[in-house]
Each structure stands twice: as C-alpha cells, then as structure tokens.
Amino acid sequence: MAKISILLCTCNSGAYLRALVDSILASEYRDFELLVQDDCSEDDTHAILRSYDDPRIRIRVNPSPSGGAAQNFMSALLNWDTSDYIMFADADDYWEPEKIGKTLECMLHTEADCPSGTPVLVHTNLSVVGKDLEPISPSLWEYEKISPERTSFRQLLAQNNVTGCTVMINRALKELVPDAPASFVMHDWWLALCASAFGRIAFLREPLIRYRQHGENSVGAYNAGSLSASAKKLRNRERIERIYRQMFDQAACFGRYYRDRLTPEQADLCRAYAGMKDQTRIGKAYTIIRNGFWKNTLLRNLGQFLAI
C-alpha cells in the first residue's frame, strides 16, 4: 500500500500534543511517517516529541519563527521530502483510528476516476469537541453550516470550505506549489484553489477527526446557526477587514502565480475578486453579483454585503 507523509506543525503545543501523537500512532493504517516542523517552541513541545522512540517520527526546528501557522505549514510542505500522499495535522486535535485509511481509500478511488497525473485534494468532516474531548457537535459541517459540495473556482475564491487538518493531497498537487506564494490566507485554502482550478476535490462526510476547541485555536469553530455568534463575528470589524484584504490579495497572487496555467475565465475571476480591494461598497456588491461570488448561506451573504 501507499506510504503517507503526515506534516505536523507545532508551536508551544505541549498542552495537547501527546494526545494528538498517540492518536496518530494508534491508527489502523500503519505505513506512515510523521514529519514535525516546530516553530521555535519554548515550552515542553520538544521534550514530548523526543520522548517517542519511533523511527517514523522525525523533527525539524525552524531557525527563526515562521510568522504563523499558515507560513509554517507552507514551509513544511515545501521543505520536507515527502511520499506521494501528504496529510496535515494540527497539534491540538485527535485522529480517529480509521482516518488515514479511509482518506487514502477516497484518494485512490478519486485518482482512478481521473486522468493520470491529476492533482487531487481529499478532505473530511470533523466532530467538534471541548478541551477535554467532550462532545460539542458530531459534525463541524453542520455546526458551521459548511457546504463541501461547493468546489467551483469562483465559489472557493469567495469562501473556503476545506479544513487543513482533514486534508490529503497527492504529489501532483504538491508539485503545483514549487515555492511559497507571496500572499495566501491559509495553506488549505491555497491548495483547495489549486485543486479546483487544475484538478479535483473529493470529500468524505464522515467525521474522522475530533476538532478540539480550547479558546486558543488559530482557527476555531463557531455555531453558524446562532444569530448571536454570527453577530459577534460581524462586530469585530478589524478582523473582518483584515481577512477580506487577505482574500483580495490571495486572489491577485493566485492570478500572478498561475498566469500561464489559468483559463481566461479563471484569470478574469482572479482579477475581478482581487479588484474589489479598491472598489466602493456599491462597486464591490456589483462585482459579487456579476461574478457569482456567493457564500453558501443567506446569513453569510448578508454579512458579506455588510462587511465589505
């Protein structure tokens, strides 16, 4: 069977790291390596990792801080010599024993249905749990009102629905990213855009990871069906404006990075989305409607028009 490379990025991750590593090592699928890229941790992260006597675990420490989780994961993807199939792990989650095997099965089935060399991304659902793994929701997709079937390029420019810690990519997709993009929101979003533009996205509705919420998550879950939770997010104007700037910059960067590979329609969509950065509120609204840059729920679309 295929060997899997799991990229685990850490930064002062000692609180939940042992539970995560133990869950990976307990996987039913055994042919994997765990490649850890640590971002200059100052807690007991290194001691925990080095307490494992398992040749499948290898550790690399960044010479200086990378600048955040997105940059660390992108650096790990570019700098580790990996196998043909790559997964990503967050240090505070918990993997179900069947996660690797079922994700690989979906990957191989999808590849068999595509021309040889097609870039493929597979992602799965998650269950949402508290800091002690107590259940919050059996499905992140239900909890956050995520629509994984939205895989078109225009949809993914406007809204990411891929959670990085559930992702597997093949080598063809990795090779689409020979160096770090100048601007990207998160590594999973960039890879989803690549798979949408040039390959295939597949997904499993089964939750294969427990997504731990502990108050210090880099990206946490929220109840998208709650008006109060949604209103609270909208009130954080500074954060919203920062994310939209990153989204506009990501679209512009994607258009430049892949200018020789994009279809004319894809290139136009990149320019249109990126161009909203300098438009008035009315101009942004017109661009969204004209190009179909819709999000997946009425509440999110209302929020989008209020936010821009």
Residue 211 banded pLDDT, cuts 50, 70, 90 = very high
The answer on pLDDT for 249 being more than 80 is yes
- At 258 the pLDDT is 98
Are 179 and 78 in contact, with CB atoms under 8 Å apart? yes
248-253 average pLDDT score? 98
- At 24 the pLDDT is 98
Q: What is the dihedral of CA 203, 179, 270, 282, to 10 degrees?
A: 100
- At 162 the pLDDT is 98
Q: Which residue has the tokens 């100052």?
A: 42
Give the residue ranges of DSSP H helices in the chain.
14-25, 45-50, 69-79, 99-112, 140-143, 153-158, 171-174, 187-198, 227-235, 237-257, 264-275, 281-291, 298-307
Q: Which two tokens stand for residue 147?
A: 């629509």
66-88 average pLDDT score? 97
Please provide the average confidence, as pLDDT, over all residues in the chain.
94
- At 228 the pLDDT is 66
Residue 8 banded pLDDT, cuts 50, 70, 90 = very high
- At 240 the pLDDT is 87
Are 73 and 187 in contact, with CB atoms under 8 Å apart? yes
At 235 the three-state DSSP class reads helix
The answer on pLDDT for 193 being more than 70 is yes
The answer on pLDDT for 232 being more than 90 is no
Are 173 and 191 in contact, with CB atoms under 8 Å apart? yes
Q: How far apart are CA 91 and CA 226, in angstroms?
A: 28
216-244 average pLDDT score? 71
- At 222 the pLDDT is 63
- Percentages helix, strand, coil for the chain, rounded to the nearest 5? 45, 20, 35
108-118 average pLDDT score? 98
Q: Which two tokens stand for residue 128?
A: 């949402």
Residue 9 banded pLDDT, cuts 50, 70, 90 = very high
57-86 average pLDDT score? 96
The answer on pLDDT for 237 being more than 80 is no
72 versus 303: the higher-pLDDT residue is 72
Return the ∠ at Cα 56 (arms to 53 and 62), rounded to 5°: 90
- At 2 the pLDDT is 87
Global pTM value: 0.94
- At 224 the pLDDT is 66
The answer on pLDDT for 239 being more than 70 is yes
The answer on pLDDT for 227 being more than 70 is no
- At 172 the pLDDT is 98
**How much of the chain, in percent, has pLDDT values that exceed 70?**
93
266-270 average pLDDT score? 98
77-100 average pLDDT score? 97
Residue 213 banded pLDDT, cuts 50, 70, 90 = very high
The answer on pLDDT for 218 being more than 60 is no
